[in-house]
Structure 1
Amino acid sequence: MSAPLSPDFRNGEVSFWYRSLGVPRPGEPLKGDVQADVAVVGAGYTGLWTAYYLKKADPSLRIVVLEKEFAGFGASGRNGGWLTGALAGSADRYAKTHGPEAARRFQRSMFEAIDEVVAVAAEEGIDADIVKGGLLTVARGPAQAARLREELAGQRQWGWDEDDVRLLSRDEMDGRLQVAGALSATWSPHCARIQPAKLVRGLVEAVRRLGVEVAEGTPVTEIAPGRAVTPYGTVTAAHVLRCTEGFTATIPGHHRDWLPMNSSMIVTEPLPADVWASIGWDGRELLGDMAHYYMYAQRTADDRIAFGGRGRPYLYGSRVDDRGHTHGWTVDALWELLTSFFPAVAASRVAHAWSGVLGVPRDWCSTVHVDPATGLGWAGGYTGHGVTTANLAGRTLRDLVLRRDTDLSRLPWVDRRVRSWEPEPLRWLGVHSMYRLYRIADARESRGGTRTSALAKIADMITGH
């Protein structure tokens, strides 16, 4: 199925989220050598939240943020707009090293981080179209419904009660959102819709008001103890923090740390009132499903549907397609899936398509680290859950830099060590095999049966997902 495109359809240009704002031009680059207390590499959510909380904690600190393009160029300006409490990693894996109670504290910290972002946005006057409508997860087909029940049972074991997530009755599900083929659904209050670019651009304005220096158009060519080197000068600092997420693979010495995984999105034209009357979605919930090759969606503030999923998941050699252009077959595949969810949307057209990269560690668990001996630190590997996790990471990096012994500095992702990804061609073969198996598994499950396809389990084993 070829997706119908609007007359003013755009592909790439960073993302749709900048369409109303205008794609920013990079600001002033670094002007010569600088002596600072903290150098932050990367002006996305992680770097900006870290700078924000450090400067609020100690206004005397000189903090310099270095950004190759403009603040919010990467995943922070391209994501699906999910301010979700989902843990960026596996509770079981964190529990293996630190115990189940530590994993539960981590999860609760994620839930609390949602309200923290909402509160700071209000305090700083950042209008990011935030609506805390929660997360609706639907199961389309018997196998998905069985996985949804298993996931809910697992959440109960980890202490999520009825206030955290609940199975909806048929009437409750249909009253929220009409998804074709949906058999069951859960709803959690721990998620909010945002407009990603508005949040990141508001955040960079906030840190600049605090006195943080943000040098844009300034690529970092070397990160070493005590310094971040750029073509325009070197920032010498006691702490140098790497906050580069999916672009980490482009930094010398970090090529195999985190896999740069691609995710793609389309957005419709504004939908008319009669379409919304048939769909519902008055609560502005975020929408996900239980497919292996999963999707994610939101109803935007201007009444479009922004709909995402995996396109070309990985480029050979950990290359990063940083312009946001999306292949035509990906646009078509996302449109076909979108209209299978909401047949009434077929009368609309695709207004914009784009893609971005996220960082995936080898064990699919995020990390935060600051080495007190060298001053080097990092946070990331969010596996697609970075909007909320970056805020928690920023506050955790603050405490680690300031050597505070706090609940955040003792969370189980702190100082977590993860082995590197395999060399090529094993990386490429593993990732593409995984997603091919997921696609086949979804197709088989759609034909009936209540069990998860064995192919999906094989895919998980291949990459340790």
Structure 2
Amino acid sequence: MTPSFWLSTLGPVTPRPPLPGDRSYDVAIAGGGYTGLWTAYYLSQAAPSLRVAVLEAQYCGFGASGRNGGWASGLFPVSEAKLARRYGPERALAMHVALAGAVDEVGRVAAAEGIDCHYAKGGTISLARSPAQLRRARRANGFLPREEAAAICNATDVLGGVYSPDCAALHPARLVRGLASTVAERGVDIYEDTRVLSLSRGSVVTDRGTVTAGTVVRALEGYTAQLPGHRRALAPVYSLMIATEPLPASDWERIGLARRETFTDERHMIIYGQRTADDRFAFGGRGAPYHFGSRVEPSYDQVPSVFESLRRTLGGMFGIKPEIAYRWGGPLGIPRDWMPSVGLRDGLAWAGGYVGDGVAAANLAGRTLADLIAGHETERTGLPWVGHRSRPWEPEPIRWLGINAALRATTFRDALEKHPAPAR
């Protein structure tokens, strides 16, 4: 079984050869997803003399980069208001502008490198479908009244919405596999089927040999907790998705999403969707449990009750009886304070903790890491997330209890808003 609908459309993936024993490089990157590959891509431009290796346990795009919802968005898990309180309004605005720019940069590189990733920058809309959701939406920038929101995405019970132009729908597996090929053509060595066992200053130990390097980059996102010494750095929380069979043109004429706008709504438990280039719904959401000890297992990708909930939610949103063709999932990397970070310290670099909004953020992170490794001081290296260190997650069983309690509480809040208590 392929890990996602996206990867299944590419056919069988043959991994590149593994690391052929001990080797030495200037830069060793642990992780062959977006973060690692974008870092390698921009390093090949900023410092072409550096010898760079990417080390990947399965094949490039096996993890979240080949399984996500296909949103290249300017969203950041920490609000601009919170960033402003901590870092000042100018740096908070700079973070927002940089992420919005990353949406365009992904499209620019895809076009320049001939990567057909079905990029369509139609923006994103968050629908308000209950009175409580409408109250939240009215407080946001980009609020739309009911008629304008429904003209973009004609879901059921629409009362309004919030629109942002800073989002593009794309085919994530086409992007990551195309990026891997581009990076390899630029002289970066990619070793797949090579599992990183540990990393430290100056070396990466794998099951195929040890790579010594002047700079070691950790770019493992949801798999970070599997490394010794990193179990409490990022919590792997699962997000699951479904993809329908293609819908007829008559359905799309009624539903809209004519520019392939991505969509969600204002509920607390996150849902996300897009209209694919071949006219399917690709739709996902949170709700799967966190597993004790930050464990990551292939069986956790399949939670029938969550898939059924997604099917019912999608059908209810659009008045359809969706035929589900694909079901999949995978872990996200979530820091304790929900603040993604990028940094370089004493030869060890890192980036991640995107909380599910990593498609564009990873591009920005890759450019920033390339700046830091090459020793270039730029506007990117002064952004608020550079050098940020989240405090570690609590030890078990507190971590398991806390995360799963929060998931249940989020579901309960949505249920209360859907069925409000009668007025007294």
Pairwise TM-score range, normalised by the shorter structure: over 0.9
Alignment of 1:95 onto 2:71: no
Task: Show the counterpart of 1:156.
Answer: none
Find the residue that maps to 2:139 and give its secondary structure.
helix
State the AA in 2 paired with 1:195: H
- Deviation (angstroms), 1:88: 3.8
Unaligned runs of 5+ in 1: 1-11, 153-165, 452-465
**Does the 8 A contact of 1:14 with 1:323 survive in 2?**
no
- Deviation (angstroms), 1:450: 12
Task: Show the counterpart of 2:109.
Answer: 120
C-alpha distance in 2 between matches for 1:89 and 1:223: 29
Alignment of 1:35 onto 2:24: yes
Find the residue that maps to 1:151 and give its secondary structure.
coil
Alignment of 1:316 onto 2:292: yes
Q: Deviations over 1:271-290 (max 9, x none)?
A: 11222222122121000111
Q: Deviations over 1:130-149 (max 9, x none)?
A: 10000011011000111112
- Deviation (angstroms), 1:150: 2.3
Q: Deviations over 1:411-449 (max 9, x none)?
A: 111111211000111111111111111111111111247
Task: Show the counterpart of 1:191.
Answer: 167
Task: Show the counterpart of 1:277.
Answer: 253
CA RMSD of aligned residues (A): 1.6
- Deviation (angstroms), 1:175: 1.9
State the AA in 2 paired with 1:386: G
Task: Show the counterpart of 2:339.
Answer: 365
C-alpha distance in 1 between matches for 2:289 and 2:12: 25
Alignment of 1:441 onto 2:413: yes
Alignment of 1:396 onto 2:368: yes
Which of 235, 240, 243 matches 2:211?
235
Q: Deviations over 1:226-251 (max 9, x none)?
A: 11111222111100000000100001
Unaligned runs of 5+ in 2: none
Alignment of 1:83 onto 2:55: no
**Does the 8 A contact of 1:90 with 1:364 survive in 2?**
no
C-alpha distance in 2 between matches for 1:251 and 1:289: 35
Alignment of 1:351-430 (within 5 A): 351-371=325-345, 374-430=346-402
Task: Show the counterpart of 2:2.
Answer: 13
- Deviation (angstroms), 1:171: 2.8
Task: Show the counterpart of 1:290.
Answer: 266
Paired residue total: 423
Does 62-71 or 348-357 show the bigger shift?
348-357
C-alpha distance in 2 between matches for 1:417 and 1:96: 17
Question: Are residues 184 and 22 of structure 1, via their aligned partners in 2, closer, same or farther at CA, if it must alter by over 3 Å?
Answer: same
- Deviation (angstroms), 1:98: 2.3
TM-score normalized by structure 2? 0.97
- Deviation (angstroms), 1:306: 0.7
**Does the 8 A contact of 1:142 with 1:448 survive in 2?**
no
Task: Show the counterpart of 2:136.
Answer: 147
C-alpha distance in 1 between matches for 2:413 and 2:147: 30
C-alpha distance in 1 between matches for 2:297 and 2:166: 32
- Deviation (angstroms), 1:323: 6.1
TM-score normalized by structure 1? 0.88
**Does the 8 A contact of 2:243 with 2:325 survive in 1?**
yes
Alignment of 1:223 onto 2:199: yes
Find the residue that maps to 1:405 and give its secondary structure.
coil
**Does the 8 A contact of 2:224 with 2:234 survive in 1?**
yes
Q: Deviations over 1:76-127 (max 9, x none)?
A: 0000000000124333443344222111101100011111110000000000
C-alpha distance in 2 between matches for 1:368 and 1:174: 38
Find the residue that maps to 1:73 and give its secondary structure.
coil
C-alpha distance in 2 between matches for 1:444 and 1:64: 51
Alignment of 1:253 onto 2:229: yes
- Deviation (angstroms), 1:61: 1.1
Which of 121, 124, 130 matches 1:135?
124
C-alpha distance in 2 between matches for 1:139 and 1:377: 40
**Does the 8 A contact of 2:150 with 2:158 survive in 1?**
no
Find the residue that maps to 1:397 and give its secondary structure.
helix
**Does the 8 A contact of 2:5 with 2:327 survive in 1?**
yes
Task: Show the counterpart of 1:7.
Answer: none
Find the residue that maps to 1:70 and give its secondary structure.
coil
